[in-house]
C-alpha cells in the first residue's frame, strides 16, 4: 500500500472549524492526500467557506450528498469520490487527532491492516470537551461493550476511522442516520467479518472552534442501544 490518503469531512454548519481543519491538514500531512468535504444541505453555513478553500487548494473536493441526509450517507458519497485506496473518516471539529494521522497511516501500512479505529479511551488517548451527557454515555457504553464482547476496540463509537476503501464498500450498513451511530455498527461488522483490525490512540477535544452539534440524547440512545444489543448477540 502506498502512503496516500483520502480524508472525508462531513460538514454541518462548520464555517469556523472548516478552514482551520483544512489548513492544518494541508500543512501537517506531508504525503499525498485529498480532502473531500461533503455537505447535506445547500443552506449549510460552511458552503461559501468550503468553496473558497476549493479555490485556494488543488487537493480539495466539495460534494453535495444527494443520497439522504446524515453523516453515514455523506461518508458514502465521499468514499465514492475518493481516489486513494486508504480513507480516513473524521469530524471537522476534531482538530487534535490531526497530529496522529501520519503515525496512524504508517502503522496501518506496516501491519497491512484493513481497518483502524481511533480511540480516546485506551492508553495514550484522551477526550475533552463536548457534551457532558454525551461523554459519560460514550465512556460507559464503550467500556461495557468491550467487557461483554471482548471486542478489541476500546472506542467503537468514535467517528475517526481509517480503512481500505474496499473495506468500507464491503460492509452493508443498516443504522439510521442518527449522529455517528454508523461508526458503532461499522466497528462491530468489520470485527465479525474477521478483517485485520487495530486501534490507535487519539487526543480528542470536541468543538474547540464551535460548530453545530447534532447530539440529541433520546434518539441517539435508542439507536446506539440497538447496535449495542445487536453486537452482544452477534459476538459470541
Q: Per DSSP, what are the bridge partners of residue 93?
A: none
Superfamily of domain covering 5-234: Spore Coat Polysaccharide Biosynthesis Protein SpsA; Chain A (3.90.550.10)
Other residues' Cβ atoms within 10 Å of the Cβ of residue 221? 15
Q: Where are the domains of the chain?
A: 5-234
Other residues' Cβ atoms within 10 Å of the Cβ of residue 41? 13
| Separation CA 105–CA 148 (nearest Å) | 29
| Separation CA 88–CA 163 (nearest Å) | 7
Per-residue pLDDT of the chain (236 residues; tens, 9 = 90+): 899 999 999 999 999 999 999 999 999 999 999 999 999 999 999 999 999 999 999 999 999 999 999 999 999 999 999 999 999 999 898 776 788 899 999 999 999 999 999 998 988 776 666 666 767 778 898 999 999 999 999 999 999 999 999 999 999 999 998 889 999 999 999 999 999 999 999 977 665 444 445 545 667 789 999 999 999 999 97
pLDDT score, position 206: 63
The pTM assigned to this predicted structure is: 0.90
Contact assessment for residue 156 and residue 183, using Cβ atoms and an 8 Å cutoff? yes
Amino acid at each position: 500500500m502506498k502512503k496516500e490518503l483520502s480524508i472525508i469531512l462531513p460538514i454541518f454548519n462548520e464555517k469556523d472549524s472548516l478552514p482551520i481543519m483544512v489548513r492544518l491538514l494541508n500543512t501537517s500531512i506531508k504525503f499525498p492526500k485529498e480532502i473531500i468535504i461533503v455537505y447535506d444541505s445547500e443552506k449549510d453555513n460552511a458552503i461559501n467557506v468550503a468553496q473558497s478553500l476549493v479555490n485556494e487548494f488543488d487537493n480539495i473536493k466539495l460534494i453535495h450528498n444527494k443520497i439522504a441526509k446524515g453523516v453515514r450517507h455523506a461518508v458514502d458519497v465521499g468514499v465514492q469520490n475518493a481516489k486513494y485506496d486508504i480513507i480516513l473518516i473524521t469530524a471537522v471539529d476534531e482538530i487534535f487527532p490531526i497530529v496522529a494521522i501520519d503515525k496512524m497511516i504508517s502503522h496501518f501500512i506496516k501491519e497491512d491492516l484493513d481497518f483502524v479505529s481511533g480511540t480516546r479511551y485506551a492508553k495514550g488517548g484522551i477526550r475533552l470537551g463536548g457534551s457532558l451527557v454525551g461523554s459519560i454515555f460514550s465512556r460507559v457504553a464503550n467500556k461495557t461493550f468491550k467487557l461483554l464482547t471482548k471486542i478489541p476496540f476500546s472506542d467503537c463509537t468514535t467517528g475517526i476511522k481509517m480503512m481500505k476503501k474496499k473495506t468500507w464498500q464491503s460492509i452493508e450498513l443498516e443504522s439510521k442516520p442518527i449522529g455517528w451511530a454508523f461508526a458503532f455498527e461499522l466497528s462491530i461488522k468489520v470485527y465479525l467479518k474477521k478483517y485485520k483490525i487495530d486501534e490507535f490512540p487519539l487526543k480528542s477535544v470536541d468543538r474547540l472552534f464551535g460548530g453545530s452539534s447534532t447530539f440529541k440524547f433520546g434518539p441517539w440512545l435508542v439507536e446506539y442501544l440497538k447496535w449495542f444489543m445487536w453486537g452482544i448477540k452477534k459476538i459470541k
